[in-house]
Amino acid sequence: MVDIMDQRLQTGTTTVGIIVKDAVVMATERRVTMDHFIMHKDGKKLHQIDTHAAMTIAGLVGDAQVLVRYMSAELELYRLQKKVNMPISAAATLLSNILNQSKFYPYMVQILIGGVDKEPHIFSVDAAGGSVEDTYASTGSGSPFVYGVLENGYRKDMTKDEGIELVVRAISAAKQRDSASGGVIDVGVIDRKNGFVQLPTDDVLNRINKFDLKL
């Protein structure tokens, strides 16, 4: 049974992942909260788990970090043994199975898995192991504000640069209206040529200034 402290800890966060032309763009903010208290202002919620795959995390920090370590290890072992990267759908299924096996004492998380194999993929995976593939997805308490931006501005044929600007605007909108979301925005881009690349913070700040968005 999840106690009251756990219920408080699982709230908060904004993450997003979108598919653009030949790539995936993923982003998060960094605020970590317990109820209305800001526990940490610089929490890492975007994690590379393989050369061409990444996860965003929302929920209990300890649960999420354990799952990041599990997935990083499993995907690396697969690549070393098979000499190819694990397909993104297989990675999502693996995480789904881990979560489903623990659903009676669950990991309190909402996770996005994104990456590129033959084509770009975004999967949203819930605490019970439900896995849904989509062209864009968002998790956390700020997700309603992100979806408001994406519903209006998303196109599947967007360039990587357009996709980066869209997720920056979406996370910025959530930060303005969701008290559990805040701090620096982390953005990662995954494509077949370069694998996972995280944008420098200065690049993200320049885009925020370009659109006159509030920090």
Catalytic residues: 13
User: CA-CA distance, 113 to 48, in Å (whole number)?
Assistant: 10
Sign of CA dihedral 176, 142, 179, 187: negative
Contacts of residue 75, defined as CB under 8 A and 6 or more positions apart, other chains included, come to 49, 50, 53, 85, 86, 91
- Among the listed residues 147, 183, 180, the one whose alpha carbon sits nearest the alpha carbon of residue 166: 147
Non-local CB neighbours of 127 within 8 Å, separated by 6+ positions: 59, 99, 103, 106, 107, 108, 109, 110
Give the CA distances from residue 126 to residues 51, 66, 102, 157, 206, in Å, rounded to whole numbers and listed in that order: 24, 15, 12, 27, 33
